[in-house]
Amino acid sequence: MTAPLIDPFARAITYLRVSVTDRCDFRCVYCMSENMTFLPKKELLTLEELDRMCSTFVGLGVRKLRITGGEPLVRRDIMTFFNGMTRHLESGALDELTLTTNGSQLERFADQLYAAGVRRVNVSLDTLDETKFADITRWGRLKQVLRGIDAAQKAGLRIKINAVALKGFNEEELPTITQWCAERDMDLTWIEVMPMGDIGNEDRLGQYWSLKDVRAEYENHYAVSDLAERSGGPARYVRLEETRQKIGFITPLSHNFCESCNRVRLTCTGELYMCLGQEDMADLRQPLRDHPNTEAPLQDAIRAAISHKPKGHDFDYSRQTLDGQMPRHMSHTGG
């Protein structure tokens, strides 16, 4: 039962992204509708179940855990879970424990996260304009997020900024955000907006700003060099020679990045999605709860799920329609 997880395309699955809640204290216009209906709490895995689930994946060869949401730090007593995962870092079974956050709770939790073994944090931040930030997050407070980033860096956490590229919204801010990250020694990754869930009256196609155009904009201002760095994930990296910054591009729509995919996603209800852009999933909550005293049925269910991991996703804006749109929200699957 200790054999590594290998999918049908000979890719080793070593990276698990875990959504610990579908709830968030923001309502970003590309992610959620303003009046979201969240899952009943009874459907969510308990913190103890999340620990057991993740520990089982670690036992099967997962080396990296990224905790997501929703906003993971709004889940009550979430540090209990992080502190539980510390044992896998200390044993050497886990290489990295990290999270993606909107930054709203970092001021409160930065020191505790560092103490639990977290060393890197991705912060989702699309604009440095306070008014625009309030508009795009609907409920967000930019100053609170910036204080959180300050606290995280002071605690010793390495910060990477994830910015969703949004046409007509943050195009003009590219030089500003880039320079701000350079001054603070933070990496920056741009992400194409993805067709996930019903977001009300927002226009997906109107939001879409191709990262081919983002790169071209960089080339208008900087000497841009491709980097060979690969993490098995979706990002492709370049270096800006003038600032020596690493800039990432996650391009699910203008470039398929699936050939080296090493990850799967676990939702807060125990559904395992083998691909962000496919609807195939496996229910791991049932074997987890049906067999509280043995891990074998859960291990078998995980292996069966990995045996169905698809070659790639189906996101497609090429025909100016929402082909490939996923009906579930990003906050449910995990950002």
Binding residues: 17, 24, 28, 30-31, 66, 70, 100, 124, 160, 194, 258, 261, 263-265, 275
In 3D, which of 111, 112, 108 has the Cα closest to residue 85? 112
For residues 57 and 49, the answer to whether their CB atoms sit within 8 Å is no
Q: What residue numbers does the annotated binding site for S-adenosyl-L-methionine cover?
A: 30, 70, 124, 194
Q: What residue numbers does the annotated binding site for [4Fe-4S] cluster cover?
A: 24, 28, 31, 258, 261, 275
Looking up tokens 């890197």 gives 120
For residues 272 and 265, the answer to whether their CB atoms sit within 8 Å is yes
d(CA 124, CA 145): 10
d(CA 253, CA 208): 9
Residue type, 106: L
Beta bridge partners of 160: 122, 187
d(CA 251, CA 266): 22
Joined tokens for residue 196? 């996930």
Q: What residue numbers does the annotated binding site for GTP cover?
A: 17, 66, 100, 160, 263-265
CB atoms within 10 A of CB 103: 26
For residues 47 and 80, the answer to whether their CB atoms sit within 8 Å is yes
Rg over CA atoms, the chain: 19
d(CA 171, CA 121): 24
3-state secondary structure 237-300: EEEECCCCEEEEEECCCCCCCHHHCCEEEECCCCEEECCCCCCCEEECHHHHHHCCCCCHHHHH
Peptide bond into 70 cis (omega under 30): yes
DSSP string of 133-159, one letter each residue: HHHHHSS--HHHHHHHHHHHHHHT-EE
Going by the DSSP 8-state scheme, the letter that residue 211 receives in this structure is: H
